Amino acid sequence: MPRSCRTDPRNRSLRRDCTSFAAVGERLIDARRRPPATPRSGPGAALGPGAALACRSEGELAAVRLPCLAVRAPALLPALVSAAALAACAAEPPPRAPAPPAAPPSPPAAAPSPAAGPEPAAARPPLEFIHDDVPRAREKARAEGKALFVDAWAPWCHTCLSMKHYVLTDPSLRPFADRVVFADVDTDRPESAPFLERHEVTVWPTFFVLEPAGGEVIGLWRGAASVEELRELIREALLAMDSQAASALPADDPNRLLVEAKRAHSAGDHAAAVSAYRRALARGGEAWPRRSEALLGLLSALYRTKDAAACAELGSAHVGEVKGAALPADFASVLLSCAAALPGGKAQRAAREAAVARLRSIVASPPADASADDRADAWGLLAEGLEALGDAGGARAASESKLAVLERAAKEAKTPEAAAAYDYGRAMAYIALGRGEEAVAMLSQREAQMPASYEPPARLAQVLHAMGREAEALAAVERAIGRAYGPRRLRYLKLRAEIQQRLGRGAEQIATLREEVAGYEALPKGHASQAALDDARRRLAEAKKAQRGGGVKKR
C-alpha cells in the first residue's frame, strides 16, 4: 500500500502512491505550522485492510500517507509549496496489510482457493476487467450471483499503476473469477460519478467488494496491497457474503462488526466507523487474527473525525503491535498524519518518534512480499518522519535509499508503462536531493514514450515549476491540460494559473482561474468538491484584487 497515494487533509494517512507536488507543498506548509503528510487507508466492509499505501485527493492529504516527502533543497521549497495546489493523490489514512482473518462459519462453497487445482498459476490467464462501466458489471454480478470487485483508480496515481502492472495481473487471482466479477473505474471520468456518490474514495487506489443483491460493501481495501493481501481481501469478502446469506454470524461477532465498521467507513460515516471498530476490537480481543486490520481502520477513521489527540494516542500505543505485509507501514503513516495535526509539543514529538522507530524496523527488515513500491514508500515515510523531527541528514539518507529502490525497479520494468509507476517517486526524490535535471530528463523521455498520456507532461510541469523554469513549465502543463479530463484537468488549470502568476501574466491567470471555477461548478455530484470550488473562487478573487492594485509582478 502503500501507496501510498492518499489525499487530502494532511497527507499522511495514505502512504504512497499518489501524492503530488501539491500535496507535498501543503504538507510542507503545515509542517511549518504543524506538518502535513500523505497516508493511505480506507473504509470498507468485511474484508481487507490494506488501505495505507495509496493516493489521496487534494482535499485530504493527511489521512493518506505521502510516499514521496523527503528532504528538500531550501531553494526549491517555495516552488514546491506553490505546486502543492496540485496534490497528486491522497486524502486520509488507509489500511493495508491483511492479517489472517478469523474465518466465520460459511458454506463449503465459500471462497475459492487460488492455489487449488492441478493447473499451475503461470498457465492461468489474467483477470478480465469490465472498464468504466460499473452498472454493467453490477448487472452481470447480480445475474450470475457473484460478488463485484471494483478497483477505483486514476492514471495519475503511481500506486494504482503499480497495482495494475504488478499485482492485479497475477494469474493466481484468476480462480476468483468463478465467484467474482471484476471491474475498474477511472475516478476522473464522468462515468464514475454515480459510483462515487455512493462510495467515498479519498485514497487511490481503493478496492471495493460488493454483494450482488443490494451492492452493500462487504470488503474494502484502501491503498496498495500485495497479491496475498488482495487474495485475503477477496476471500474474506466471500466468507462474509456467504455467512450473511446463511445468517451464520451473531450480531456481536467481531468479524460481523468489522464489516459494519468498513461499511460505515466506506460511506463516509467516520464516527459510526470508529464506534464499530472499537466494538470489533473489544469482542475480538488481543488474539483476534484481524486485530491489526481493525486497528488500522480505527486509526484512519479517528483521523477523519479530526480527533488528532485520540488518533495520536491510539497510534502511539499500538504502532508496534500491528502485523502484516503492508499494515505496519500504513499504520505508521496515519500516525504521522495524526501527529502533524497536533499543535506541537511533547505529544506531537512522541507520536513522530514512535512512528519513526517502527518505520526504521520496517526498512531494516521489509516483508518478504513487499513490492518495490512498498519498500520505497516505507523509506519515503521514514524520510518524512525524520524531517519532521529535525533530522535533515537522516531524511536525506532515507530519500537516497528510496531513490535507489525506485531506480532499480524502473530499470527492471519490462515496458515504459510499467516503469512509469515509479516516475512520481523518482521525481520527488530527485527534487528532494537537488537533482532536478535528472527528473526533467526522465519525464521528458517518458512523455516521448507515452505521447497520449497526460501524466508525464503534468509531472514535468510540476518539476519545472519547482525549479523556477516557468516558461518551460507552462508549455508542459498546456500539453497535460489538452490530454486530461475531469477533476484532474482542473488541478492542472490551478498549476497553470500559478505559473502564469510567476510569469507576470495577470490577465491570463484570471482567465485560467475563471475556467477552473466554472469547471468545478459544472462537476457532477460524485466529483464535486465544495472545498476545491471555494479555494478556486478565493484564488480568483485574490488575482482580481492584485490586478486592480497594479497588476501581478513577475517573479
Region 177-184: mean pLDDT is 95
Q: Would the pLDDT of 123 be above 70?
A: no
pLDDT band of residue 555 (cuts 50, 70, 90) is low
Measured CA to CA, the distance from residue 393 to residue 319 in angstroms comes to 25
The pLDDT value given to residue 124: 56
Band the pLDDT of 95: cuts 50, 70, 90.
Answer: very low
Decide if 40 contacts 90 (C-beta within 8 A): yes
Q: What is the mean pLDDT of residues 377-381?
A: 93
CB–CB of 330/224 below 8 Å? Answer: no
Q: What is the pLDDT of residue 259?
A: 86
Q: Would you state the pLDDT for residue 22? A: 38
pLDDT above 50: residue 50: no
Q: Does residue 513 carry a pLDDT above 60?
A: yes
pLDDT score at 282: 97
pLDDT given for residue 121 in this prediction? 46
Q: Go through the chain and tell me how many residues it has.
A: 555
**Residues 19-35, mean pLDDT to the nearest whole number:** 35
What is the pLDDT, as a whole number, of residue 213? 87
Q: Of residues 11 and 418, which shows the higher confidence score?
A: 418
Cα–Cα distance for residue pair 3/154, rounded to 1 Å: 13
Which pLDDT value is given to residue 54? 46
Question: Of 86-90, 246-250, 275-279, where does the model show the most confidence?
Answer: 275-279
Residue 110 or 221, more confident: 221
What residue ranges define each of the domains in the chain, with the CATH number in brackets?
1-393 (no CATH), 453-555 (1.25.40)
Share of the chain above pLDDT 90, in %: 62
Asked which of 46-50, 405-409, 474-478 is least confident by mean pLDDT, the reply is 46-50
- What's the pLDDT score for residue 55? 52
State pLDDT tens for residues 389-426.
999 999 999 999 999 999 999 999 999 999 999 999 99
Q: Evaluate if residue 73 carries a pLDDT over 80.
A: no
Across the range 256-280, mean pLDDT stands at 92
Task: Give the containing element (helix H, strand E) for 317.
Answer: helix 308-318
* 330-373 pLDDT tens trace: 899 999 999 999 998 999 999 999 999 999 999 999 988 788 88
Provide the pLDDT confidence category of residue 39 given band limits of 50, 70 and 90.
very low
Query: Does residue 52 surpass a pLDDT of 50?
Result: no
Specify the pLDDT at position 255.
Answer: 85
pLDDT of residue 167 exceeding 50, the answer is: yes
Phi and psi at residue 209, to the nearest 5°: -120, 120
pLDDT at 176 over 90: yes
Q: Supply the Cα-derived Rg of the chain in whole angstroms.
A: 22
The residue-averaged pLDDT of 273-286 equals: 96
Which three-class secondary structure state does DSSP give residue 55? Answer: strand
User: Please, are residues 114 and 177 in contact by the beta-carbon 8 Å criterion?
Assistant: no
Task: Check residue 279 and give its pLDDT.
Answer: 96
Could you tell me which residues are beta bridge partners of residue 16? 4
Per-residue pLDDT, 110: 39
> Is 15 in contact with 64 (CB distance < 8 Å)?
yes
- How many CB atoms are located within 10 Å of the residue 126 CB? 12
As a whole number, mean pLDDT of residues 219-239 equals 89
Give the cell for residue 295.
486497528
pLDDT beyond 80 at 481: yes
The pLDDT confidence band at residue 72, using thresholds 50, 70 and 90, is very low
